[in-house]
Structure 1
């Protein structure tokens, strides 16, 4: 332990070295537009310099708090060769990645190979899928960049964060509160902009820009936060804390409704179903049997189900439609152009997988390669014929995390997801049954389930804001699992 005088000395050293280094990194970034080839090595060097001092002065927790606070306000800026960088979020994420590398190099091998660190091997199939399929890519540069970003996010938000959550059990709640405060500010800004447009729901899609690229990303983030705070409040021992947690949850639910994201709202209903199953201590075998029964019923009555779906006429972009009508429009597969285009993207992804089942077309290439695979009968005003000039209100990729992996990385990508999600389901329904941190594990799984469902309809894990929430919650799940002592609740004092 450091004495008080030594602690103050280290703090002064931190200010002496870190602040000038941070200023140099910022200066180098903004100067990079004109002298990119010379400045990029300088940026990397200064980020490494910062990482060394963060490790030397044990400032990792402060780095994580800074990232959580800044992410909701991170914006996309042009950088190099038509690439975009999310500033300042990705700069700090890069520093965190370098910090992780230094920590691993300095740590004894026996500490790296313990059971806690072996848990990260469950993410290895997904990471390998990104790497193995790069050589088969249609666009090598795109795939290298896309894979690098995904591996970077997983390394920082899953591995680096989990290592420090284990040392600081109460850290996750503080990170969520910092992030939550930021996204609430963005919500207030969006509400003000909507008021300027006289609450016309047509403009909802862009009112959270430049911080959240569209309303669905904002809705998915709010849904995950709503789940964390709601489930945390159920077993919290303090009546005051319970009131505060449920108050936060209510705010985030209202933000989901405000976003008008149908998938985000439905993900909360799915979360409640998962929560009830975990509370009832369902066995995995029962879940598998129930899923097979539901699938059999859907298959047997697919004709009548399809007929009913064709009768739904509510459209999501009707400015006179209420919230429940918008939710109902999720079943409209005939006249709702958003849904029809989503089906078109899914069909395209499946056709791409059929053509290249083992290697896919390369990580990150779907939006550039799917156009010839579209179904003419499903093409509409939102359909893209030129990836560099999408129609207004269109763009994006598969609108499905799982089909994106399938089309870009083939069967390897899907296996990677199945292995990882299967492990989490096993933890939730089997390993947590008599665990001292059972309710914290339930909270983590309930929160993750919002995106496990939402990922059928959108894909956000290449966005720093959401990658932090998703992989960070997974890191919290792991640290709760590998702890025999009871960990602190959300809003519980350390």
Structure 2
């Protein structure tokens, strides 16, 4: 039997198993196909699993928000992050994780030193169990979003654009959900502080993510060598993100976008980035 037929057979088996779990009212059986799919991607298409993780980041929810558990686990991203951390550690032991040049980079060395120091501080901690949990959580974020992200971005230049798209598309879903709820409340300022729940705790974190995604979305809209259809899609995405940012009632997000636009104009006018950074630090120190 060929690999293609095996893949189809496995997929149909998982589909039947999931439907059977739904029909018999056993939700744990319905999770088996998802777990099998994650395991298959981990072993055969780690790049697709990592892309799936990125896509799910804006859509993840904190179980504590629903009162289901006192543990603040974000589902489904944090279980995926834990699995990727274990997988990355195994690959690192076998010398397969990252390029030596990446590991020896000064920033990577500083990140690793910070992580080691955080682990050492567990010993004199007043609450070692809490500190250990925080250290492990820091580990899966570093393994996935620093080391694996560096490997993924370095593998293909187009992954930079894919990263933006993988974050913008689910964020647009969250924006649509938020705006529909907000519209039902008359777009009031008070309601704008919480209508993005459960995806975001409040309007400040929601507005911050919008402000971070809007500039790269604008950059992809203005890029050359893309078809009309892609350009229209990015134009719609930029317009939607702009409306969501305005209605987030997050002044810090608005100010940061104005500052980012001012920096872009200054760079276009010929000012060196180093000069702008020094001037910004000096102005901040004066204030």
TM-score, normalising length: structure 2:
0.76
Q: Does 1:181 align with 2:162?
A: no
What does residue range 206-221 of structure 1 map to in structure 2 within 5 Å? 206-221=194-209
Cα deviation, 1:103-128, whole Å, max 9, x if unaligned, reads 334445xx845213433334224323
Q: Which of the numbers 45, 55, 79 marks the counterpart of 1:69?
A: 55
Paired position in structure 2 for 1:301: none
Paired position in structure 2 for 1:273: 262
CA drift at 1:197: 2.0
Q: Does 1:11 align with 2:7?
A: yes
Paired position in structure 2 for 1:225: 213
Query: How far apart in 1 are the matches of 2:162 and 2:168?
Result: 10
| Contact persistence 1:14–1:53 (CA under 8 A) | no
| Contact persistence 2:210–2:245 (CA under 8 A) | yes
Cα deviation, 1:9-51, whole Å, max 9, x if unaligned, reads 5634864898879x9xx83999xxxxxxxxxxxx9xx97x977
Paired position in structure 1 for 2:75: 87
- In structure 2, relative to structure 1, the CA distance for the partners of 1:131 and 1:50 (3 Å cut) is farther
CA drift at 1:175: 4.3
Query: How far apart in 2 are the matches of 1:164 and 1:14?
Result: 28
What does residue range 14-163 of structure 1 map to in structure 2 within 5 Å? 15=11, 27=28, 53-57=40-44, 59-78=45-64, 82-107=70-95, 112-119=98-105, 120-163=108-151
Query: How far apart in 2 are the matches of 1:118 and 1:28?
Result: 45
| Contact persistence 2:211–2:256 (CA under 8 A) | yes
Q: Does 1:261 align with 2:250?
A: yes
| Contact persistence 2:164–2:217 (CA under 8 A) | no
SS of the aligned residue for 2:62 comes to strand
Query: How far apart in 1 are the matches of 2:277 and 2:218?
Result: 27
TM-score, normalising length: structure 1:
0.47
Query: How far apart in 2 are the matches of 1:100 and 1:211?
Result: 27
What does residue range 378-457 of structure 1 map to in structure 2 within 5 Å? none
Gaps spanning 5+ residues in structure 2: where? Answer: 22-26
| Contact persistence 1:233–1:245 (CA under 8 A) | yes
CA drift at 1:257: 1.1
Q: Which of the numbers 245, 249, 260 marks the counterpart of 2:238?
A: 249
- In structure 2, relative to structure 1, the CA distance for the partners of 1:83 and 1:271 (3 Å cut) is same
Gaps spanning 5+ residues in structure 1: where? Answer: 31-42, 299-494
SS of the aligned residue for 1:212 comes to coil
Which structure exhibits the higher relative contact order, with contacts defined as CA atoms closer than 8 Å and separated by 6 or more residues?
Answer: 1
Q: Number of residue pairs matched?
A: 272
CA drift at 1:283: 5.1
SS of the aligned residue for 2:196 comes to coil
Q: Does 1:194 align with 2:182?
A: yes
| Contact persistence 2:54–2:166 (CA under 8 A) | yes
Query: RMSD of aligned C-alpha atoms?
Result: 3.7
- In structure 2, relative to structure 1, the CA distance for the partners of 1:122 and 1:249 (3 Å cut) is farther
| Contact persistence 1:77–1:84 (CA under 8 A) | yes
